[in-house]
Amino acid sequence: MKVCTMERKVLILGGGVAGMQTAIALNDLGISSVLVEKEQELGGRVKNYDKTFPFFHSGKELVKELEDRVRRAHLVEIRCGTTVSHVEGQAPHFQASLGTGNYKIPVGVIVVATGFEPFDASLQEEYGYGIYKNVITATELERLLDPEGPTKGEIRRPSDGKIASRIGIVFCVGSRNEKLNHNYCSRICCSYSTKQAIEIEERNPDARVVCFYIDIRTYGRGFEEMYRRAQEMGITYVRGRVAECGMLPNGDITIRAEDTFLGKPVQGVFDLVSLSHGMTPSLDAPKIATMLDINVAEDGFFDCRDKDLYPNDATREGVFLAGAAIGMKPIPDCIADGNAVAARIAAFLASNLEKAQ
Amino acid sequence: MTTGSKPDWIKGIKDKLDYGWRYQGKKSGIQPDVSIMLNDFDAELEALTDKGINSSSSLRCFQCGTCIAVCPYPLVMKDDNRLSARRMLHEAQLGLLDFETERIWLCATCGACVEQCPRGVEIMDFVRNLRRVAIGMGVGKIPDSLHRVMTNMASVGNPFGEPQEKRADWAQSLNIATFVQDMELLYFPGCYPAYDSRARKVAQATANILNKAGVDFGILGAQESCCGQSVRKAGDEVLFQKLVRDNIYAFSESGVRKILTTSPHCYHTLKNEYPEFGGDFEIIHYSQYFARLITEGRIRFSKKLDKRVTYHDPCYLGRHNNLYDEPRQVLSSIPGLELIEMPDSRHRSLCCGGGGGVVWLDIKKGERLSDFRLGQAIETGADILAVACPYCLLSFEDSKLTVAGGDGIEVKDIAELVSDAI
Amino acid sequence: MQQINVYDVEARESTWKKYIKEIPQDSYFLLPSCILAVAYPGTEAMMPRLFDFLDLDWNWNLKPESMCTCCSGIAYHGDVTTIESTLLTTARLWSIAQEAGYDTIAVACVTSFGIHSECFDLYHEEPGLKQKIDKLLMKACGRKFEPPKHIIHVSDIVYDNRLKLGDEFMTYQLVDKYSGRPLRGVDHVGCHYNKLFPLERSLGGAEYCEVLSGLVKAWGGESIDYPERRHCCGMGFRQCMITPNRGFTAACVNKKMVSMEPFEPDFIVTNCPGCEVHLDKQQWAIKELTGKKYFIPVLTYMELAGLLLGWDPYDIVGIQFHTVPVEPLLDRIGIPYNESKTWLGKDERTLPCSDEIVKATLAAGRTMRGIPLP
């Protein structure tokens, strides 16, 4: 099977896990690509994660491994610190301009792997994120847990640096909420929160971790086992969404919720409260949708050509989607997306052989 | 506002405001805050964990509710706050446990919940540990009737408070030898068959069968005490261990090797719990033994029993020890007997409410599990309800007096039926 | 003492600033409150006084036959009357305002504010309702009405003018006279002000309402944030109306008191008459029931403004009607007051007083001028 390689490359927007895997898979298939990343470094969000769920492998090493492979791949051109500013033409004859518009490249196919943006927790005012110092987000907790992070892996609370031994984790911040127009579930928050709870408990066995949830959606392979392990370690799960957070003079945070299993209100005082925020589509998504003339669905993520049969195809021919840009998913699924998109591209280019030459 | 009679609409408003509540002279204090305060549950949690209540098994509970769905209590007790394993487990997870309530004493340890629990939570152990803490730490109120029984056990080795010397009185007219070394087996009737007038007939029937079959057996009578099974489930570990030691001593001194029991509770504890304390004997339930004797031809039936019989699987024989077929085999061998299966049979059997110390509690008529179970037996149209456990026997005899249609059915132990047909 | 308030002020500012509403600068039709005039008459009497002081165009009852009535909020929320009665009452009030030529309603009570906002909203939500009420109003008192252009609360007006009042006119500041530290004030905003329509009607939204907090900050004080800040005072209309339910109201106030105690506030400021009555009087009830004396003075925003402007505490502001004594706060700020007026009402008439209180006051060594001694 002859596939076009030299003249028309594949343009990949986003150098995160999905984007890098797409490039690697395309390289294995003998197709050249241009990987465009707006930050100075590759790796997206996973490069900041010390441990990933459910097997507690290192996110940093995973990204390093991927980056190694991408850099060693002959057919991948990497462009960091730049964005795609303009795209003209039709598949498989697109013309893309990078950066300020001076560097133009002919591309055959475009892949959107722009990832996600963590929800801005200050929009849920009742939790007081930003106003009460000891209310932090899960991303910040991730940095606190990182042995190479600002506190060297010790869970110190922002207000006074005290080691936190009573920690509350609030699930479903920003997701499943009509008031914020986010009716979807961000899927991985229950899982990453449980992972963080386990990490906290391992670091400090005397710590008291209480998770307040609506449902536990540890759906994936190995996730339920992780949840079971978390419970056996003594992490308490209270089924009831947190109504509000308040602050005491010494910086402790009070939480009000209801325990729906016992039908009684619950109040707790914690040293540190972590908001397990959901994910929204990347902030550049609307701009990219306009630029590439593809549709964005009601929930803000990119829309597929057919949700059942073509989950990786965008609504326009020649544009494909991978990774968290189509909806939040765990890392193995992003890798799978990268491979899937590469296969789709190979098929597309093969069928458009004459046109692409 | 003019004086004089008030117009109707003013009266109407006053009525609405009044509702008869307003000027009742009721005093109101400040409504208490019923919130669960999570900030002071740490110390309690530590204490509960040390006592084995918050072991990793009970922490695993994820509140699916299967346990209370299969629990037989909701069938008889409408106020479902009274016994909920799910609720108690969650309260333990949060470090709060109200030892004052009677909830923890209601569990009959039937094992239906443990069988179905998807997370493998040891619910019966959890309940037993709660009771252990209640008794051991002196917190919480133990029901009076239970307290009396425990005192009796401690002093005379049986729940009734009858003198220990009279333990072999049931065998007086039967010419049964005292156990000596090298006899084939020891017959251990248990407390109820030894002392209770109704249950004695079972012991006598069993002895009759063993004699007719030519079995070389003896009894120990006053030398033995209660097996202690219900005592351990009721939470008194110290008393249990005392009874175990006394019994093991009595058995070893007499050279006992094989023990035949009437009660599945005795069977369960002698087989599964005595080895931990050094009591290593071969334990066999009479239904197993009779099945064997029938197969070997040592029991011969001479009379026909033209009755329709339905069998109730005891929890401690069935779910706890997987003995479902032997009793049925024995019943089917009796000539003329038609065996009918009840709904909820075998591992789905509904507890009679005798285990876990519940047989000694005062439970209201109409709320007893045996009432419901007897009703099911009556509905099958059988003439006799066959049982293989003295607690079941007595619970059903009791329910017969109050349940509608109770006079139309007889309650008989398998031993009695076999003895009648020999 | 360690710093009590460690919340991030800038983040809070950016949060509440999402909820700004338009407050007209002039021309208000004042609708007084039913409870406020009875329980704390000074507050309501000061409203026209302040409007005149600031030279604002305002008005209220113009003719004898157009008396303002209660908005019927307490009856409606207490499940004594129906929504149609309430709609009719508010329609009549709006008609009176429009007759006088004003399109802005300035309400003195937060319950009224809630009622007027709700009725306004109902006309938007339900087509045909306006015609029905038009017919009924014409039949009842021969009037016509239109929903007003602006519905605001008098505390909004005070908030709008707070800097002007604070910089140019106020003689006192919310600062401790002796130590110079800013006084700590707890702001308690009535539920119906900011929780019913947070986006359209409240200044600051439901979570971090600024209307009273801004007053405290502008006049030199420090605004406290404590865990139960958003908790309702518990008045609850039907709660406080029915004696056996009053334990609920007391419990709500108690919960708030327990929560604010570690922050050591010097005073509470409210904008709702119901909240004022209950936060004030339930503190006494709590003392009787539990023995715990919180005794944090509760002031309305108007009384606070009046005191700081230097108006007489007894004759104009009317602090003698408070259950929790306000005099300690006055001492702290440095406002002088004539203690002999503590038991006198308008025109030096004595206030009715029970024998027990007379005995207790005399036993404490205080005088009660004018009260006949036993």
CB C211 within 8 A of CB C203: yes
User: Do A168 and A250 share a domain, yes or no?
Assistant: yes
Closest residue to B30, CB basis, from C241, C243, C250: C250
Domain coverage including residue A80: 9-115+282-356
Please report whether residue C19 resides in a domain: no
Which chain B residues touch A267 with a CB distance below 8 Å? 35-39
pLDDT value of residue B76: 85
Q: Which of residues 177-206 of C touch A (CB under 8 A)?
A: 205-206
Q: Average pLDDT in the B247-274 region?
A: 94
User: Do A35 and A149 share a domain, yes or no?
Assistant: no
pLDDT value of residue B28: 73
Q: Average pLDDT in the B44-53 region?
A: 74
User: Do B172 and B234 share a domain, yes or no?
Assistant: yes
pLDDT value of residue C368: 66
C159: tokens are 């908030």
- Is residue C374 very low, low, confident or very high in pLDDT (cuts 50, 70, 90)? low
Q: What is the distance between the alpha carbons of residues C207 and C73, in angstroms, rounded to a whole number?
A: 24
Residue at a domain's end among A278, A296, A323: A278
pLDDT value of residue A5: 47
Domain coverage including residue C327: 160-348
* Cβ of residue A126 closer than 8 Å to a chain C Cβ: yes
pLDDT value of residue B73: 87
The reply to whether residue C250 touches residue B19, judged by beta carbons under 8 angstroms, is no
pLDDT value of residue C369: 60
Q: What is the distance between the alpha carbons of residues B187 and B178, in angstroms, rounded to a whole number?
A: 10
User: Do B323 and B285 share a domain, yes or no?
Assistant: no
CATH number for the domain harbouring residue C322: 3.40.50.11810
Closest residue to B29, CB basis, from C78, C80, C289: C289
User: Do C123 and C215 share a domain, yes or no?
Assistant: no
Q: Which of residues 11-30 of B touch C (CB under 8 A)?
A: 13, 16-17, 19, 21-24, 26, 28-30
* Cβ of residue C228 closer than 8 Å to a chain A Cβ: yes
Residue at a domain's end among A223, A251, A278: A278
Which chain A residues touch C263 with a CB distance below 8 Å? 249
Average per-residue pLDDT in chain C?
Answer: 89
Q: Average pLDDT in the C111-135 region?
A: 94
pLDDT value of residue A1: 44
Please report whether residue C195 resides in a domain: yes
Q: Average pLDDT in the C261-268 region?
A: 94
Q: Does the pLDDT at position A354 exceed 70?
A: no
- Pairing relation of β-strands A236-239 and A208-213? parallel
User: Do C103 and C251 share a domain, yes or no?
Assistant: no
Residue at a domain's end among B72, B106, B136: B136
Please report whether residue A3 resides in a domain: no
Q: Does the pLDDT at position B386 exceed 90?
A: yes
Please state which of the ranges A251-260, B138-147, B380-389 shows the lowest mean pLDDT.
Answer: B138-147
* Residue A236 per-residue DSSP state: E
Please report whether residue B197 resides in a domain: yes
User: Do B128 and B223 share a domain, yes or no?
Assistant: no
Q: Average pLDDT in the A138-157 region?
A: 93
User: Do C215 and C107 share a domain, yes or no?
Assistant: no
The reply to whether residue C207 touches residue A254, judged by beta carbons under 8 angstroms, is no
User: Do C226 and C362 share a domain, yes or no?
Assistant: no
- Other C-beta atoms lying within 10 Å of the C-beta of residue A211: 24
Residue C178: strand, helix, or coil = coil
- The total number of structural domains in chain B stands at 3
User: Do A258 and A295 share a domain, yes or no?
Assistant: no
Residue at a domain's end among C105, C129, C154: C154
CATH number for the domain harbouring residue B167: 3.40.50
Sheet (strand B384-387) strand order? B338-341, B308-311, B384-387, B410-413
Which chain C residues touch B10 with a CB distance below 8 Å? none
pLDDT value of residue A355: 56
Q: Which of the other chains make 3 or more beta carbon contacts under 8 angstroms with chain C?
A: A, B
Please report whether residue B147 resides in a domain: no
Q: What is the distance between the alpha carbons of residues B303 and B369, in angstroms, rounded to a whole number?
A: 34
Q: What is the distance between the alpha carbons of residues C60 and C52, in angstroms, rounded to a whole number?
A: 13
Q: Does the pLDDT at position B13 exceed 80?
A: no
User: Do A129 and A270 share a domain, yes or no?
Assistant: yes
User: Do C252 and C320 share a domain, yes or no?
Assistant: yes
Please report whether residue A145 resides in a domain: yes
Closest residue to B21, CB basis, from C244, C251, C254: C244
Bridge partners (DSSP) listed for residue B341 = B311
Closest Cα in chain C, distance from residue B100 (Å): 26
The reply to whether residue B56 touches residue A232, judged by beta carbons under 8 angstroms, is yes
Closest residue to A232, CB basis, from B42, B60, B87: B60
Count interface pairs A-B at CB distance under 8 A: 55
Nearest in space to C3 (alpha carbons), one of A249, A130, A247: A249
* Cβ of residue C13 closer than 8 Å to a chain A Cβ: no
User: Do C314 and C180 share a domain, yes or no?
Assistant: yes
CATH number for the domain harbouring residue B124: 1.10.1060
User: Do A174 and A271 share a domain, yes or no?
Assistant: yes
pLDDT in tens, A253-279: 999 999 999 999 999 999 999 999 999
Residue at a domain's end among C154, C182, C212: C154
User: Do C319 and C212 share a domain, yes or no?
Assistant: yes
Which chain B residues touch C244 with a CB distance below 8 Å? 21, 24, 26, 28
- The total number of structural domains in chain C stands at 3
CATH number for the domain harbouring residue A19: 3.50.50.60
- Is residue C242 very low, low, confident or very high in pLDDT (cuts 50, 70, 90)? confident
> Treating both helix axes as pointing N-terminal to C-terminal, what angle do C129-141 and C83-99 enclose, rounded to 10 degrees?
70
User: Do C178 and C320 share a domain, yes or no?
Assistant: yes
**C interface with B, Cβ–Cβ below 8 Å:** 78-80, 241-248, 250-251, 254-255, 286, 289-290
User: Do B83 and B179 share a domain, yes or no?
Assistant: no
Average per-residue pLDDT in chain A?
Answer: 92
Please report whether residue C13 resides in a domain: no
Q: State the best of C6, C252, C256 to mutate against chain A, taking most chain A CBs within 10 Å.
A: C6
pLDDT in tens, A206-260: 899 999 999 999 999 999 999 999 999 999 999 999 999 999 998 999 999 999 9
Q: Does the pLDDT at position B14 exceed 90?
A: no
Q: What is the distance between the alpha carbons of residues B397 and B410, in angstroms, rounded to a whole number?
A: 8
User: Do A148 and A262 share a domain, yes or no?
Assistant: yes
User: Which residue in chain C is spatially nearest to A268 when comparing CA positions?
Assistant: C227
Q: Average pLDDT in the B353-380 region?
A: 89
Closest Cα in chain A, distance from residue C191 (Å): 15
User: Do C124 and C181 share a domain, yes or no?
Assistant: no
CATH number for the domain harbouring residue C77: 1.20.1050.140
Q: Could you tell me what percent of chain C has a pLDDT over 70?
A: 95
* Cβ of residue C262 closer than 8 Å to a chain A Cβ: yes
Q: Does the pLDDT at position A3 exceed 70?
A: no
Q: Does the pLDDT at position C1 exceed 90?
A: no
User: Do A270 and A123 share a domain, yes or no?
Assistant: yes
Please report whether residue A92 resides in a domain: yes
Average per-residue pLDDT in chain B?
Answer: 88
User: Do B265 and B321 share a domain, yes or no?
Assistant: no
pLDDT value of residue B406: 87
Q: Does the pLDDT at position A79 exceed 80?
A: yes
Closest residue to B28, CB basis, from C244, C254, C255: C244
User: Do A76 and A142 share a domain, yes or no?
Assistant: no
Q: Average pLDDT in the A63-74 region?
A: 95
Our measurement of the distance from residue B81's CA atom to the centroid of its chain's CA atoms, rounded to an integer in Å, reads 20
Which residue type, as a one-letter code, is found at position B320? H
Nearest in space to C113 (alpha carbons), one of C57, C30, C175: C30
Q: Does the pLDDT at position A319 exceed 80?
A: yes
The reply to whether residue B28 touches residue C245, judged by beta carbons under 8 angstroms, is yes
Residue at a domain's end among A278, A302, A326: A278
pLDDT in tens, A185-208: 999 999 999 999 999 999 998 899
pLDDT value of residue B41: 63
Q: What is the distance between the alpha carbons of residues C275 and C212, in angstroms, rounded to a whole number?
A: 13
Exposed, middle or buried: residue C150 (CB in 10 Å: 0-12, 13-18, 19+)? Answer: middle
User: Do A264 and A248 share a domain, yes or no?
Assistant: yes
The reply to whether residue A122 touches residue C11, judged by beta carbons under 8 angstroms, is yes
Q: What is the distance between the alpha carbons of residues A242 and A239, in angstroms, rounded to a whole number?
A: 9
Exposed, middle or buried: residue B60 (CB in 10 Å: 0-12, 13-18, 19+)? Answer: buried
User: Do A265 and A324 share a domain, yes or no?
Assistant: no
User: Do C123 and C205 share a domain, yes or no?
Assistant: no
- Is residue B49 very low, low, confident or very high in pLDDT (cuts 50, 70, 90)? confident
Q: Does the pLDDT at position B1 exceed 50?
A: no
Q: Does the pLDDT at position C118 exceed 60?
A: yes
Please report whether residue C12 resides in a domain: no
Closest residue to C247, CB basis, from B17, B19, B29: B29
Q: Does the pLDDT at position A16 exceed 90?
A: yes
pLDDT value of residue C5: 59
- Is residue B32 very low, low, confident or very high in pLDDT (cuts 50, 70, 90)? confident
Higher confidence at residue B1 or residue B273? Answer: B273
The reply to whether residue C243 touches residue B16, judged by beta carbons under 8 angstroms, is no
* Cβ of residue C1 closer than 8 Å to a chain A Cβ: no
User: Do C249 and C365 share a domain, yes or no?
Assistant: no
Residue B400: strand, helix, or coil = helix
Q: Where are the alpha helices (DSSP H) in B184-280?
A: 191-195, 197-212, 229-233, 237-254, 264-272
Closest residue to A262, CB basis, from B39, B42, B91: B91
The reply to whether residue B38 touches residue A267, judged by beta carbons under 8 angstroms, is yes
Q: State the best of A124, A125, A129 to mutate against chain C, taking most chain C CBs within 10 Å.
A: A125
Q: Does the pLDDT at position A74 exceed 90?
A: yes
- Is residue B96 very low, low, confident or very high in pLDDT (cuts 50, 70, 90)? confident
Q: Does the pLDDT at position B378 exceed 50?
A: yes
Higher confidence at residue C69 or residue B79? Answer: C69
Higher confidence at residue C217 or residue C353? Answer: C217
Which chain C residues touch B21 with a CB distance below 8 Å? 242-244
The reply to whether residue B26 touches residue C251, judged by beta carbons under 8 angstroms, is no
User: Do A169 and A246 share a domain, yes or no?
Assistant: yes
Please report whether residue A2 resides in a domain: no
- The total number of structural domains in chain A stands at 2
Domain coverage including residue B392: 301-421
In degrees and rounded to multiples of 5, residue B178 shows phi and psi of -75, 145
Q: Average pLDDT in the A72-85 region?
A: 94
pLDDT value of residue A32: 92
The reply to whether residue C229 touches residue A130, judged by beta carbons under 8 angstroms, is no
Closest residue to A231, CB basis, from B35, B49, B59: B59
Q: Does the pLDDT at position B19 exceed 60?
A: no
Please report whether residue A228 resides in a domain: yes
The reply to whether residue C227 touches residue A248, judged by beta carbons under 8 angstroms, is yes
User: Which residue in chain A is spatially nearest to B93 when comparing CA positions?
Assistant: A236
Q: Does the pLDDT at position A308 exceed 90?
A: yes
Please report whether residue C18 resides in a domain: no
Please report whether residue B10 resides in a domain: no
Which chain A residues touch C262 with a CB distance below 8 Å? 248-249
pLDDT value of residue C191: 93
CB A174 within 8 A of CB A123: yes
Q: Does the pLDDT at position A137 exceed 90?
A: yes
User: Do C186 and C317 share a domain, yes or no?
Assistant: yes
Q: What is the distance between the alpha carbons of residues B114 and B121, in angstroms, rounded to a whole number?
A: 7
Q: What is the distance between the alpha carbons of residues B63 and B117, in angstroms, rounded to a whole number?
A: 10
The reply to whether residue B38 touches residue A269, judged by beta carbons under 8 angstroms, is yes
Q: Average pLDDT in the C327-343 region?
A: 90
Our measurement of the distance from residue C317's CA atom to the centroid of its chain's CA atoms, rounded to an integer in Å, reads 13
Q: Average pLDDT in the C149-163 region?
A: 94
Q: Does the pLDDT at position A111 exceed 70?
A: yes
Closest residue to A234, CB basis, from B39, B59, B91: B59
Q: Does the pLDDT at position A4 exceed 50?
A: no
User: Do A224 and A155 share a domain, yes or no?
Assistant: yes
Q: Average pLDDT in the C346-362 region?
A: 77
User: Model ipTM?
Assistant: 0.87
Q: Does the pLDDT at position C279 exceed 50?
A: yes
Which chain A residues touch B86 with a CB distance below 8 Å? 261
Q: Average pLDDT in the A316-321 region?
A: 94
Residue at a domain's end among B240, B271, B291: B291
